[in-house]
Structure 1
Amino acid sequence: MNSFTSFTSLIRSMRLFAQLISIPAVLGFITPIAVQAGGEKHQGHHDHHGSHMNMGDSYPSTMFMGKTTFVLGGVDGVSDSGMGGMGGMGGMSPSDEKDGTVFHYDTKLMFMTSFTGQDMLKTAVRIGNFGMMEPFGMMGEARLDTAFSSSDSLELHKAYYQFPVGDDIQVTFGPKLRQDDLLGVWPSAYPSDGVLFVLNQAGANDTYSKKMGAGAGITWSYEKLVASALFVSEDASNSSIGFLADEGKDHITTQLAWVDERYTLAAAFTQSDNGRTDNSPDINDYSSFGVSGSYQFGDDYSLSGGIGWKNPENDDSPDTSMNKVEDGKTWSIGFLWNNALIEGNKFGFGIGTAETHRNDSGYDDPLAWEAFYDFKVSDSLTVTPAIFVIEKDGKEEVNGALVKTTFNF
């Protein structure tokens, strides 16, 4: 991509950003009211698994946490014809561009119950109105990390149980969970609720695919060394396929990590079969290896990065630029500045591959980048304006801007 195109992309994003940037200023006027809502900081599930819940002395005991996210934003450069051949759906012609400003929401209600003080049963329900094929949706060209499509209906999002075996081993299993719920370490300090989903997979996007389903995992910790082994079965609830069946989509991951006070380094391997029972090429039938880590500079700065390699079980033959089932790689780098300009606020910048990169002649390097700034209105209310650009091979460049408002309660 030449410098003129890059400059044009930045101008487009900044125009969208300018239309939305007034939102934080308006919300600033409601600070005196918002400060009283909630108040306790909420930590993500990626904290080291060695710590247990502190719920008091009476069991069983249940904690409740909630999170609602509003997303107001839009994109430029996405049309029906570019969305997986879905042009014409809903009465729209293939040339209809999806460049309108949209307003989405996502609400998660999480219940954590301990029966012994050392275990945890987590149940989460979720509701959202992100369209699956819309640009910000879970299959969209600019999928957001917070995107969840339930068509305004409340759904069970997660249900799993964790318990220790001795002092060094933890077991997790359940009928509905995500791959990273089973990992002993998440090897990145870049925010888990950042902007683009593709930049929140520790650089090894195929290794840390974050697939959901039924699964189980075991984590062993010894001083700074943490090892995990897990599997996720996407079709476990399908009675015609079943749990860990040959035709089911299963994902097996192993991870070995070293966790120090200042840095984290992890290597992981994932085998995914996509339910393939023959030798035909399938882009989702692969093995993948990833190396990821993070480093903390002082108290306020961190740098995270990772790289992943993907090897399909059976490549396309012959190997041409039109055939996509072949070896590839991904990478990403994320910078986070805590207490940016104002205490409590954060600035983040992430850049990496927008899709798995292939070494084909004439194939354009896929690239995605994002920049965001968290305005911490209170411990329970954060406003985050952001801009981003996504470039994929053979597709129009996507420029976007949004304002995300997050309520924790």
Structure 2
Amino acid sequence: MSKTVRTFLSGASFALGATVAFSGTAQANTELLDQINSYSQDDIAQVNSVFQLSDVSPSDWAFDALRNLVENYNCIVGYPDGTFRGSRPLSRYEFAAGLNACLQQIERMIQSGGSEVTPEDLAALRRLVNEFEAELATLGARVDDLEGRVEFLEDHQFSTTTKLGGEVIFNLGAAFGEDNIDDQVTFSDRVRLNLDTSFTGKDRLRTRLEAGNITAFDDATGVDTARLGFDTDNDNDVEIGKLYYRFPLSDNIRAYVGAVGMGLDDIADSTSPYFESSGSGALSRFGRFNPIYRGPDGAGAGFNLGLGEKFTFTAAYLADDGDVNNPEEKNGLFNGNYTAAAQLDFEPSDNIMLSAVYARRYQKSGDVNLTGSTGSDVAKDPWDDGGFGEYAASSDNFGLQASWLIGEKFNLGGWVGYTNADIEDPTVTGNAEVWNWAVNAALLDVGGEGNVLGLIFGQPPKLTNADIDFGGGQGSSFDDEGETTYLAELQYRYKLNKNITITPGAYVIFNPNQNDDNDTVVVGSVRTTFSF
């Protein structure tokens, strides 16, 4: 939620940073009120701690209450020099003005779905309102009946621990090509509701409810690379899309435990800041981030370890959430499909991010997918596509990612990924290698603040060589199978307001499925994202 708050009362902004040495009585003081009303917004600046206000005394009972309000909700401001125009203590009228500012800020937070307002803070606010009732009344009718407003806030919170957030996508899209393409224009939707619960203020339990009918364009085109980055099709039935808990173990360690839908990109930074989001990032599935991050996932655990100011180490173990609750052979948490991964991030400056990721994967027979459904059919499962049958496979996956914000308006990024896979079967041996890469560019604030012009170009996962050996001299091998597939995406994210973004764009797939005999595929989309 926003931490920048400006509150207006009687045509002016008012400031307070903590409890003060109180002076005066509750009588009207015209001269002092004139002084309060003379404060201008140009004279005040946000502070985050009462200790920044040099003329505040901690000797009064209200010190801790006001300190918690200002530091929890940033609802009080002070002058840039850290004082309130001199060394004099604040009057009770100035205090009342700041108290009203905090009440209005908390009221706005709750009305917008905020969940971080605690019962303890509401109780402190009630006590302060009772103490300064006369001063608040003197300030005018705009602060009348504050006791009733506090009761309203207490009665109308969604939850004292849970914040509700949501995202709705309307998509107008179609795939085009010369032959064998179902090129009908579609209109579809996806809805996500996130319930984020905190028990300590530093942790988060995320429960995501999801429904949608956005179909994958792989069926219409016969090409996995044609998939949208936000396709979800469960006939608009509500399902649990994610369920995981994030919490600190120490000042530099954050841990994750998940039961449903937790991916490696939820734990590790995919280093694709302007394209990774499904709701506001790349239109294509391949364009969001390195396919190395896609694999068996859903349930498991992981952690981030801060190594000084520039390095972060991440490790995770994830199992297919369709397997973990099944006690049968080749299922469960450790005997089914899994991903074990480690990543090292390096941030030499605020504008540059570099990362290296390694993932060890096992996928059962019939579940092998070396590309995360972003590349060619032959790269997805080299041996099954070659007509040799279905085999389990293990793979070593390596990725390098980079993102560089050049100046304030241009971001350049990209990645390269490599997969080396082996058949896991006592009677058959086989090996395959798959490569992918991409570069992306984001031009910021084009045509208005918050707008983004984005370009992506790359090679979706490509099988470069593979072999299979049945023993007795029986087998097959091939190198650099087929032509190279390329994807180019152009999009423009127009921020209509802070809650609505419209993204028209298209991506083109050249030599689909590593075959230059296949016609070029074009996918067009107009994605409208509502967030709240």
Q: Return the TM-score normalized by structure 1.
A: 0.74
Letter of the aligned partner of 2:314 in structure 1?
A: S
Residue 269 (structure 2) pairs with residue 269 (structure 1): no
Residue 402 (structure 2) pairs with residue 302 (structure 1): no
Question: Which residue of the partner structure matches residue 83 of structure 1?
Answer: none
Equivalent positions of 1:23-38 (< 5 A) are none
C-alpha displacement at 1:154, in angstroms? 0.6
Where 1:285 maps in the other structure, the secondary structure is strand
Equivalent of 2:343 in 245, 250, 255: 255
Letter of the aligned partner of 2:312 in structure 1?
A: V
CA distance in 2, matches of 1:105, 1:350: 24
Question: Which residue of the partner structure matches residue 312 of structure 1?
Answer: 421
CA distance in 2, matches of 1:117, 1:76: 49
**Higher RCO structure, 1 or 2 (CA under 8 Å, sep 6+):** 1
Residue 224 (structure 2) pairs with residue 118 (structure 1): no
CA distance in 2, matches of 1:380, 1:182: 23
Residue 158 (structure 2) pairs with residue 62 (structure 1): no
Could you report, residue by residue, the CA deviation over 1:199-250 in whole angstroms, capped at 9, with x for unpaired residues? 1123xx2x2116432111011013221001101111213343543343x111
C-alpha displacement at 1:283, in angstroms? 8.3
CA distance in 2, matches of 1:340, 1:310: 37
Question: Which residue of the partner structure matches residue 288 of structure 1?
Answer: 397
Equivalent positions of 1:65-80 (< 5 A) are 65-77=165-177
Residue 176 (structure 2) pairs with residue 176 (structure 1): no
C-alpha displacement at 1:141, in angstroms? 4.6
CA distance in 2, matches of 1:136, 1:383: 24
Which moved further from structure 2: 342-351 or 159-168? 342-351
Equivalent of 1:400 in 515, 523, 528: 523
CA distance in 1, matches of 2:266, 2:255: 9
Where 1:358 maps in the other structure, the secondary structure is strand
Equivalent of 1:370 in 489, 499, 509: 489
Letter of the aligned partner of 2:167 in structure 1?
A: K
Equivalent positions of 1:162-173 (< 5 A) are 162-173=246-257
Q: 1:198 to 1:184 in 2, by over 3 A?
A: closer
Could you report, residue by residue, the CA deviation over 1:133-159 in whole angstroms, capped at 9, with x for unpaired residues? 655899855111111111120110000
Could you report, residue by residue, the CA deviation over 1:113-146 in whole angstroms, capped at 9, with x for unpaired residues? 0001111100001000023565589985511111
Equivalent positions of 1:6-405 (< 5 A) are 55-58=116-119, 61-77=161-177, 97-131=181-215, 135=219, 140-192=224-276, 193-202=281-290, 205=291, 207-209=292-294, 211-222=296-307, 223-234=309-320, 235-240=323-328, 241-246=330-335, 248-259=336-347, 260-275=349-364, 285-314=394-423, 326-358=432-464, 360-361=479-480, 363-391=482-510, 392=512, 393-394=514-515, 395-405=518-528
Q: 1:273 to 1:233 in 2, by over 3 A?
A: same
C-alpha displacement at 1:162, in angstroms? 0.8
Q: Percent identity over the alignment?
A: 25
Contact 1:375 1:383 in 2 (8 A): yes
Contact 1:137 1:149 in 2 (8 A): no
C-alpha displacement at 1:291, in angstroms? 0.7
Where 2:201 maps in the other structure, the secondary structure is coil
Letter of the aligned partner of 2:162 in structure 1?
A: T
For the aligned residue pairs, the C-alpha RMSD in angstroms reads 3.1
Where 1:244 maps in the other structure, the secondary structure is helix
Where 1:356 maps in the other structure, the secondary structure is strand
Contact 1:182 1:216 in 2 (8 A): no
C-alpha displacement at 1:288, in angstroms? 0.8
Larger helix percent: 2
Letter of the aligned partner of 2:361 in structure 1?
A: S
Letter of the aligned partner of 1:129 in structure 2?
A: N
Contact 1:213 1:236 in 2 (8 A): no
Letter of the aligned partner of 1:341 in structure 2?
A: G
Query: Which stretches in structure 1 are left out of the alignment for 5+ residues?
Result: 1-38, 41-52, 80-94, 317-323
Question: Which residue of the partner structure matches residue 47 of structure 1?
Answer: none
Query: Which stretches in structure 2 are left out of the alignment for 5+ residues?
Result: 1-107, 121-159, 367-382, 384-388, 466-478
CA distance in 1, matches of 2:480, 2:358: 28
CA distance in 2, matches of 1:274, 1:134: 22
Contact 2:364 2:392 in 1 (8 A): no
Q: 1:181 to 1:333 in 2, by over 3 A?
A: closer
Which moved further from structure 2: 99-108 or 127-136? 127-136
C-alpha displacement at 1:178, in angstroms? 2.9
Which moved further from structure 2: 279-288 or 335-344? 279-288
Where 1:344 maps in the other structure, the secondary structure is coil
Letter of the aligned partner of 1:374 in structure 2?
A: R
Q: 1:310 to 1:254 in 2, by over 3 A?
A: same
Could you report, residue by residue, the CA deviation over 1:364-388 in whole angstroms, capped at 9, with x for unpaired residues? 1111110000111111011111011
CA distance in 2, matches of 1:177, 1:78: 37
CA distance in 1, matches of 2:217, 2:391: 22
Q: 1:237 to 1:151 in 2, by over 3 A?
A: farther
Where 2:286 maps in the other structure, the secondary structure is helix
CA distance in 1, matches of 2:225, 2:268: 30
Q: 1:283 to 1:303 in 2, by over 3 A?
A: farther
Contact 1:281 1:314 in 2 (8 A): no
Matched residue count:
332
Letter of the aligned partner of 2:529 in structure 1?
A: T
Contact 1:311 1:327 in 2 (8 A): yes
Could you report, residue by residue, the CA deviation over 1:4-59 in whole angstroms, capped at 9, with x for unpaired residues? xxxxxxxxxxxxxxxxxxxxxxxxxxxxxxxxxxx99xxxxxxxxxxxx9924459
Letter of the aligned partner of 2:343 in structure 1?
A: Q
Where 2:333 maps in the other structure, the secondary structure is coil
Q: 1:66 to 1:139 in 2, by over 3 A?
A: farther
Where 1:313 maps in the other structure, the secondary structure is strand
Where 1:129 maps in the other structure, the secondary structure is strand
Could you report, residue by residue, the CA deviation over 1:71-110 in whole angstroms, capped at 9, with x for unpaired residues? 101111387xxxxxxxxxxxxxxx5x31110111111000
CA distance in 1, matches of 2:524, 2:200: 46
Q: Greater CA radius of gyration, 1 or 2?
A: 2
Contact 2:115 2:161 in 1 (8 A): no
